[in-house]
Amino acid sequence: MIHSSAIVHPKAVIGDGAEIGPFCVVGAHVRIGARTRLLAHAVVNGHTTIGEESTIHPFTSIGAPPQDRKFFGELSYTHVGSRTTIREYVSIHRATGEGEVTSIGDDCLILAYAHVAHNCRVGNNVTMSSTAQLAGHVVIDDHANVGGMTGLHQFVRVGRYAMVGGMSKITRDIPPYFLVEGSPAQAYGLNSIGLRRAEFSPETIAELKECYKLMYRSNRNISQALEAMREIVKTDDGRHLIDFVAAESARGIVK
């Protein structure tokens, strides 16, 4: 299942049923999971692990050194999960810092020309549309969506089930379950369509909507909104929202 034109280092570990297509390059410290497919011209190097049943499309680069002045060749890693699809011309760089990791989870869809920089952590079931760009140390939680041509500042966090509209400029953290877009970005309500598709209960959606109103429509600051939210929240998702907003942040919460 390895094309004759591919260059695969003899020390690379290739899982059962994996396919390495024409003109691919696979480095010495790479591990490719079972039934994963590298289509033509994909390059995977560095200390990189790709899980099972993923598909890597042409001209993708995974595990290259980071575009970071702080990087001096230390040992660092790149992980891509199982059943993840990475489309054409995507670049995913390994981490800066000894033993650090850039990671993408399971069941993700990363569309063409997207970039995942050093030390980013992308969760499971995340969708990144074409040309979405993550600067270093960005964290995207499970089931979030990032629209096309959107840029995220380093150290930004995006909460689970959040929806980031296309062509947005994201310089602050995006709370889970919310819809955010614009340049500068603003919150515009719940990601209602995403929550309904994920079969959130009407009670949970109603509670999250009340939390949104307390944060963005009540003239309270964040501390005051958190205090009010703690008095009304009864669901696990509501408590997760509170924990996210209350957590230490390098960027602050989107306005």
pLDDT tens digits along 85-98: 999 999 999 999 99
pLDDT band at 104 (very low <50, low <70, confident <90, very high): very high
Question: Residue range 106-129: average pLDDT?
Answer: 98
Q: For the chain, what is the mean pLDDT? A: 98
Domain ranges of the chain: 7-195, 197-246
Tokens encoding 107: 């069941």
pLDDT band at 99 (very low <50, low <70, confident <90, very high): very high
Tell me the chain's radius of gyration from C-alpha atoms: 20
CATH classification (class only), 7-195 = mainly beta
Question: Residue range 50-77: average pLDDT?
Answer: 98
Instruction: Give the distance from CA 92 to its chain's centroid.
Output: 11
In tens, the pLDDT along 130-149 reads 999 999 999 999 999 999 99
Question: pTM of the predicted model, to two decimals?
Answer: 0.97
E strands of 191-236, at which residues? none
Query: Could you tell me the CA-to-CA distances from 82 to 105, 132, 137, 146 in Å, in that order?
Result: 7, 21, 22, 20
In tens, the pLDDT along 186-219 reads 999 999 999 999 999 999 999 999 999 999 999 9
